Structures are given as C-alpha cells and as structure tokens.
Structure 1
C-alpha cells in the first residue's frame, strides 16, 4: 500500500491538536506589517530624530553670516568715602545705562566654509535617513518571511513526526504478530522521539519569529498570510552583475551619503585654514544712561569746595552712538589653528578611505547577491525535484519493507531524507524572496512597491499544515514511481 507524503500531511493536520491554525479573520499581510514598522519602529524613530537634529546645523552655521543684534542694561550704586579737613565725607551715586549693539560680518571666510560643510552634512543626514527607511522595508520582509519559514518548517516537522508515529505503530504491530524483531520497534521509537523533539524546537522557533515581529512593529500578531507556491521564480532583470553594480554606484544610499561626508570634510578643512585669515565686521552701537554709568569725565571731587558742606555733582542722561568697521588679524594663538588644520586634513583622509571601503563593500554585496538570486532560482527547481524523487523513493522503500526486501532502517532513512528535502525547498523559496530584496537594496532601488508586488501572491487562506508543499508534487511523485516500475 502506497504511503505518500500527502497522507502524512493529512494525518498531521487532522489528527493533532497543535496542527490547528489561528482564525483567518486576524491574519496580517506583508504591507500592513511594513506600515506598522514604519510608524512604530523605535530604531527608525531614532534615525528620524537624528536626521532632524542634523538639519539644524545649516541654520546654526548660516547665523554666523547674518547680523547679530544684542542689548544690555546696567543698574548699580556706587559709594565713595573721601577724607577731608572736615572729616570723612561719603558720596553715594546711582548709575543706570541701556545699550544696543549691531554687528554684521563682512568678511568671514571660516564661517562661509562652515555653512558649506553644514549643508553637506545635512545632505548626508538626509541620505542616511532614507537608507534607514529603506532598511525598514527589508527588515519588515525579513521578519515577515521568518515567521512563514518557521511555520512551514514546523508543518514539515509535524508531518514527519506523524509519519514516524505511524511507522512506530506498524513496527509494534509487526512485532506483536512475529513479523519483525524488537530492533525494528526500537529503531522506529528512536526516530519518533527525535521527530518529536524537533517539533518542539520548531514550535519555539515560530514563537521566536513572532516575537521578533513584535519587536519590529510594537504590535502583537498570531497569524500571517502565507505565500503561494505559484510565486514566479525568475532570474534577476537584467541578469548582468556589472549593470547591477553600475546602478549601485549611482543609487546606493549609503554610498551617496559617504560622498557628502567627504564634501563636508573638505569644507571643514577649508574652514580650519581660514582661521589664519583676517575678519572684517561692521559694528554699530547705541548707549543711553546717566553720567556715572557711561563713565563721562566727572570733576565732582576736583571741583569741589572741600571746606564746604556739599560737593557738586553732574546729573542728567547721556547718549552715545558709534558706527565703524572692526578688523581682526590673527597673529598667534598658541598653535591651535595649525593643529586644527592638521586634524581636519586627517579627518578628510579618513572620510575618503571610508568612502572607498563603502564602495568596495557595495560592489561585493551587489555581485554576491546577484549570484545568490541566480543560485536560489536553480535551488528552488532542484529542491522541488528532490522532493518528488524523495517521495517516490519513500513509497518504493515502504513497498519493499512490506514484502520483506527492505528493512525498517531503510524506511526511516527515506523519510528523513524526504522531510529534509521539504525543509530545504521552503528555505530556498524564502531565500529567493529575501535575496531579491537585498539585491535591490544594494542597488538603491528597493521601495515599498516591491512589498506590494509580493503581496499579490499572499494567500489569506494559507494553512501551513496543508499548504507547506505544492499540491502538484504528489501527482509528480506517483508518475515518477510508475515510470520506474
């Protein structure tokens, strides 16, 4: 009697309580996961705050080239004691003044280059934030398909456990009627115990994958839409690694950010060198206050009648207005400016080397991912055929076991190989999906539309215990078995 993989799947999904799936009404799709991650992910929120903070460098640097207006006020009392022929005399005076000062930089080369550096840094920050947004797209897909991968792996493991349970029952029956020895029962028991342990581990991996999804989005989920097996498995377009590398050189966001980092370092070097240049400002001031506060000449003591009872005092307000040019020529500052120039030069060299390292990494990643996608395409097709062959081999081995030409070890090995092929097939499918997205990220073209395109192949009625394998594999295996008989 043929014992196909589909029979084991049916028993696993119908006969075990842990094979049930959550209600379909609460299933979440890939695009919804991405939207939740974009709105709630803590790392992305931190990147957004960092971006906005670095945007403020531009108005801060620009302020150094704009007029500066300040105001001040002073109120105070002065007490003076004078020794005279009449004894010690005390003079109390109150002082108050108000001042406004306006300065306009006319020539400040260092501040101009500082503004240029700030603008480059702002562009770098914008690109880095865009890279973070793009990374959330990939992280959403990785977390989503990690759950689906774990669920399919659990489904295969449960089917394997069911198959080994059935094999153990048969071994016990054959032993009871004297058709086999105790060794067959022990072998079947060992295989079943191992499969049960693997199922427990696979269940934990599903829970871990859901927890990672919660960490990404700050939302709890208990069921996701599965990916159909009719997802096209196609080679990358264009299937030319050099074209992907050229696209990455133009559009990779991290690489573009390093270009602006170099520009910022160049402008900072110019700013430090400008520390040796003179500065010129236009300065205007207005001050109003009493005579004492403004420090006007006061002959109160020299013109006083020392022998009299009173001392003369000048009262009333005074106004002062000034306007002019202020030139400052740096001569020597203890070597600080020269040290800052040397520091800026080394930082420029550092940023150039980091850009070159990033360029090489982008080229390597792009080429590797292009090869990975092509390998994944071949892997999916090869793994499908491996399942077909493995299922045919298992059925043939079970027939041989029934007629006495094969032993229990042969059957158990065939089952292990079959379910190993099942897991390899599903892993190859998910590797293909994720490597495609990673290739697009390396090229700088990854966008939310790529997730929408994948969402077209999601199935809200996907049941891992029933659908973890294509439906056509059973018929293909039977045809292959009939051909060989």
Structure 2
C-alpha cells in the first residue's frame, strides 16, 4: 500500500505529539466582546484621552468668565507717622486705621471676549469628537489584537503540522535508505527540511506569546485562551458595494474629519477675537470703602491735618470706557498670527479629507479583493494538497525525487498560512472600512460573536473541515484524467 502524506494525518500527528499545545479548559476562553470591554475599562491610553478631554472642556467656563461680573473684596490695615517741620518746631502726625473695600466690574461690551467664548465652545466640541474617535479606534485595536492572537495560533498550528510532515518524510527517507531504495542525499535533504520546519515552529511559538502580551498591554488582563473564528464566517462584499457611497458617508461621519471642522471654526472665532482687539471696551464699575476716616484720607477744610472723629464710607458707580490706540503693534501681530493659524487649520482639514477619501476607497477595494482572495487561497490549499499527494505517489514509484516532495510540502503549508492570513485580513479590513466611514461601533464586534467557536482548537481548526475531501476528489479526477 502506498504511504501518502495527507494534511489531515499531519495535523493529527502534530496534535498528538506536541504536548505544549494543550488548550486551557473551555471555561477560561475569552471572546471578542469581553476583550473590548476589558480594554474600554482598563486601557491607559483611553483613560489619558478622557482626562485630556475633561481638561480641554474647561476652556468654555474659563472663557465665559470674561463676560460675567467680577467681584472682589479686601481689607487694608496701616499705621503712618508723619514728621512736619513748622515755625513752632517739629510736629508729628500719626494716622492709623483699617479700611474694608469691595469692587464690582461688569463687562458691557467686550467683543474679543465674546469671540473667545465662541472659539472655546468650538474647541470643546473638537475635543469631544477627538475623544469619540479614540474610543472608536479602541474597537479596532481590540479586534486587531484579538485576531493577531488567533492568526499567530493558526500559524503555529500550521508550522507544527509542517514539522510533523517533514519528520514523517525524514523517517521515510531513512527507511528507504536502510533498504537501499535511496541514497544518503535524500536523507540529508529531508533532514534539512525538518530542521527548517522546527526552527519555524519555534519562531511561531514566540509570536503567539508576543501576540498575547500585546493583548495584555491593551487590556491589563491575563488571558489563557481565546475563542476562534469559524470557517463558516460569510465572506461577502461590503454593503453597499459602491465606493462613492462609502466616501460620501466618510465625508459626513468620519469623526476625525468632523473634529477638524470644529478646529477650523475655532480658528475663525480666534481671528475675530484678535481683530476685536482694536475695538473699544465698556465696563460698568462700582466700588465701596469703609474705614477710619484718616485711613481714607478725609480731612477737614482747615489747614490742620486733623481728622474727623468717626468712620467714613465711600461709594462710587460709573462706566469705564477704554479705546485702544496703540499697543506697540501687538494687536496687529496677533491678527496676522491668527490668520495664519486659520489657514493652517483649513489646510490640515483638506489634507485629512483627502486621506480619508483615499483610505476609504483603498479599504473598499481591499475588502472586495479579500473576498476573492479567501476563496482563491482556499482553492490553493486543495490544489497543493492534491499536488503533494501526487508528488508522493511519483516519489514512491521513482518518477519524482525527495526535493520535489519537500517543495510540495513547503508550498502546501505556505498556502495554508496565506489562507488564514486572508481570512483575518478580510475581517479587519471590514472593520477598518467602517472606521474610515465613521460607522464602526461595538455592535460590529457583537455581530462577529456568532461566528466564534468556544471549543476552538488551533491544532485542529486552523483548516476548513472539508479540505481533505476536496483534495481527495481533485486528486482522483486528475489521476483518472
């Protein structure tokens, strides 16, 4: 009987022979939504962004304060001694006492402060949208980190299966060499292939650990295992499958683009504020003082500086008009600066708009390409599986050599890895497209939940379950032909 190496047998051998791949109990597996929730609760970058938003929104009450009354109160205690030379000799006059005072100022016309308030409100809206963009970005980061682990696990599973296949080929080469059916070259070629596969498996193991570490950094939580994605996940074109519709949605809903609109509005209001520096200001002012009359400076109408014997009060109310005439060119310079800042914000918005359009169109094309790529990669596995089994048959009957077999094995497992990469690229590019359009939400992660497999075992599930049958059917059709 011919001894053909099938991918299914290689996977079974890898699962049985590699003790380090034991999966944790099912109860310890974590799903995608849970990872996102942990990230939302524990991510340090998001916490910093929220604190930054809370700080930036304080510019509104700070700017509003410039239009509200300003009330202050205070007290002054003094003891003054004055020596006066007179014709009768030196005379000392002492003045002491306490004065209590209060002042009130109410802006009546302050155009610069009004425009400053408008700019502050726009800046606050910009900060809110930028925070929303960071929160939305965390959805994508959670998915990227989650599927990076699954991708690394599937890669490890394929490299373990490849190592088992090369080990089987090495054993077969040794057996053939022992009975004189092949020379030492076949054994050396098989040994080289096995050593390379073993090195790749070691690297893949480290990549799994690195991926888990990235997930821990994102969420500040330890994970033992994750639920994997089913191969039954529908691979469909984006809806609607119209790039212009996605671009129009992005232009209206992209959060960073909306934030840039408020940045331009804030710059416009700041320019108005600077121009208002040339305008006059008008305030209503009132003051009140009470204290010893000598402390207030009251004296009788005579020449003697003697004071009244009782306390005194002083009240005043009026309007204060200020007309700026010249401030050394400060106001004009600030106007020129604000104009350039406005130009800068407009150009940054235009640059961002172009980037959003480019990203949206590219991601729309990427998703459509991924749809075809996943199917093509899956068919590639089937074809390479059939080619490998046909090459092994040729090797058994002497029409192929060991190098042909090893090359077929490498191509087979390479096609397995590119297939899984295409699957994860499709999922992530879909989420990236929605983020670019401004529609990404936690509901998109929840929609993926139904395609997660709680008992996912990478060593068994990194391949579609129907591949072995499809490869056998293709091989039979080729041989019959």
Which of the five TM-score ranges fits, normalised by the shorter chain? over 0.9
Structure 2 residue 54 is the aligned partner of structure 1 residue 60: no
- 102, 122, 126: which one pairs with 2:124? 122
Is it true that 1:451 corresponds to 2:445 in the alignment? yes
Residue of structure 1 equivalent to 2:232 = 230
Q: How does 1:195-274 map to 2 (within 5 A)?
A: 195-274=197-276
Contact 1:73 1:97 survives alignment (8 Å)? yes
Alpha-carbon distance in 2 for matches of 1:143, 1:69: 55
Structural mapping, 1:392-471, within 5 Å: 392-471=386-465
Aligned pairs (5 A) from 1:11-160: 11-84=13-86, 88-160=90-162
Once the two structures are TM-superposed, the CA of residue 130 in structure 1 deviates from its matched residue by: 0.4
- Aligned to 1:3, the other structure's residue is in SS state coil
Q: Which runs of 5+ in 1 are unaligned?
A: 305-311
Determine if contact 1:12/1:19 at 8 Å carries over to the other structure: no
Cα deviation code 1:398-451 (max 9, x no counterpart): 111111111110110000000000000000000000000000000000000000
> How far does residue 2 in structure 1 lie from its aligned partner after superposition?
2.8
Offset from partner CA, 1:44-95 (integer Å, 9 cap, x none)? 1111111111111111111111111111111111122234566544333212
Number of the residue aligned with 1:385: 379
Q: Deviations over 1:100-146 (max 9, x none)?
A: 11111111100110011011111111110000000000000000000
Note the alpha carbon deviations across 1:11-64, whole angstroms, 9 max, x for none. Answer: 000112122222222111100000011111111111111111111111111111
2:293, 2:307 within 8 Å by CA — same for their partners in 1?
no
SS of the residue 1:163 aligns to: helix
Aligned length: 477
* SS of corresponding position for 1:64: helix
- TM-score norm. by structure 1 comes to 0.96
**In terms of mean alpha carbon deviation, does 82-91 or 339-348 score higher?**
82-91
Which structure 2 residue ranges, 5 or more long, are not aligned? none
Aligned equivalents of 1:226, 1:298: Cα separation in 2: 96
- What CA distance in whole angstroms lies between the structure 1 residues aligned with 2:315 and 2:400? 112
Q: How far apart, CA to CA, are the structure 2 residues paired with 1:87 and 1:303?
A: 15
- In structure 2, the residue matched to 1:292 is 294
Query: Structure 1 CA distance, aligned partners of 2:95 and 2:161?
Result: 100
8 A contact 2:390–2:475 mirrored in 1: yes
Match of 1:482 in 2: 476
CA distance in 2, matches of 1:242, 1:285: 65
Query: 1:186 pairs with 185, 188, 194, which one?
Result: 188
Equivalent in 308, 319, 322 of residue 328 of structure 1: 322
C-alpha RMSD of the superposition: 1.3
What's the offset of the Cα at 1:291?
Answer: 1.4
